[in-house]
Structure 1
Amino acid sequence: MIELVIDQRRKDLGGFEVGRVLPFAKRRMVGPFAFFDHMGPVDMPAGLPKTVDVRPHPHIGISTLTYLFEGEITHRDSLGVQQDIRPAEVNWMTAGSGVTHSERFERARREGARLEGIQAWVALPNGQEEIDPSFQHVVPGDLPTWVEGGVKGRLVAGETMGMKAGVSTFSPLHYLHLELEPGARFQTPTDHSESAVYVVQGLVEIDDGKPLGHGQMAVLSSGAPSVIHALQPTTVMVLGGEPVGERFIEWNFVSSSRERIEQAKADWRAGRIKLPDMDDQEFIPLPPDPTPPAPPMS
């Protein structure tokens, strides 16, 4: 059954719009997934300005999971990694105690390209929030796939349905990319206590209820499986896992401690966090603190 439906909210990242789904006021996380952005679809013309790129910025306390349907992004980070990510590959960057990275649209700038994908943040569990940063690039051959009953599936990360993706995660989770033909049905995994379905494109019913379309996430009730029924050609992501506890999120920082986030903010403001080795000529400044609400009038 559906517990909650979340509609994406359009967010401008400085010349590039995304559809933000998590965090949401009524549902901050699904399992360890603390952040979920749908990039595009957008046509990027050759010669697009560099202002569209995501300049170097920091993270703590999470792994970032970038997965594309179309296009290419060039990743550079403070570990010395430079890696292009293409469709059906996984970039899994673990920030831990702190890392910086940039995301550049260099191929699109040269040739023009259509871009679409999902970036998720997966909160690290208690006791591992401050592990050393690391980076994994996982190719399609290390991601289990199957075709059955009008469903073409890929396990992007985690473990479920007797399969395990070639991504080293830190807590129990599942993350699936499904393409469904009209009329196809898929029963969601019950390996983990929290789960959700996000519609990338198309139209589905869940448990033969209200139709869900592009940009909508259905958070599922825990315990029982749900059935996704495609009403037209549809792409969905199925995500879930075990909760890791309360997390605070401010800007690009995630932690179980507000004090740790304040320290990260101070470090970035003071220039104490290393920039990417191959992209250290600019960075995104720390945004100003939110304005506190005005006191009530007497």
Structure 2
Amino acid sequence: MTIRPLTVTAAGALLGTSALFLTAAPTATAADRADATAVREGSPVPVAHRGASGYAPENTLAAVDKAHSMGIDWVETDVQRTKDGELIVMHDTTLSRTTDVEQRFPDRSPWKVSDFTLKEIRGLDAGGWFDSRYKGEKVPTLDQFLDRVDHNRQRLLLELKSPELYPGIERQTLRELGSEGWLGRSHRSKLIVQSFNADAVKRVHHYRSEVKTGFLGTPKPEELNSYARFADQINPSYKDVSESYVKAVHAVRGPHHRPLEVFTWTVNDAATARKVTDAGVDGIISNKPDVVTGALRAAGTDD
């Protein structure tokens, strides 16, 4: 399967519904959709969820490299902040599931990310829980993660995880992205910032309107115009994907005057990959992206 460059910008924020619904976004025309053929034509883009997390410990450099070895262009990850104000890559708001923090610091339950310094977190084993082969793998800082993705010439779907716990993390993350060169023209098509927190998505768009953003969730079709005022992508769970919903999303233009797009999560089997593809999604986020590409390749052969 040929993976084409993506021209995506993501969707939405709920900063108070009264403010949100003041102005509707215009409906996308056929010409607008033709302008986004890099995504609309062909198969959806496969995205490695927390790296190729079905095969390597999630959100580690090993998972990024595993996705790269599979030929996966897009990598999804999560950003949080340590006690001393450093940005790290971690999905859970606690460290217990994916590190040995309980053994190293047994008296510091519930082991929140925000209760530990970067030095303490960097001293943890973030790989042994997954497989003994990965014992000693570290929790990456955001800049380390960005460097590895850039080195591999991959693209990044960056989630602000629970930003309500980390005031100002939107601006801080943008500063980090800028210092690492990810906000320049050469990287602009390689980055999407998303969150379940709609206010955070809106802030990202306000601070850097050129950055592509995504809202994780399933707004009602009648709400899509309002989301599209500050976002270019609506990213629902695969359980909420239907052909009619995807068409409703595609019918609306985002703030960059392109049709809203749909990246769905988390698809780890071939049958679901084919189902959401038939529904018209633009991207499929998966722990096992090779399963997705295999299913799409087989479906293409059958056509």
TM value normalised by structure 2? 0.28
TM value normalised by structure 1? 0.28
Query: Which is strand-richer, 1 or 2?
Result: 1
Query: Which is helix-richer, 1 or 2?
Result: 2
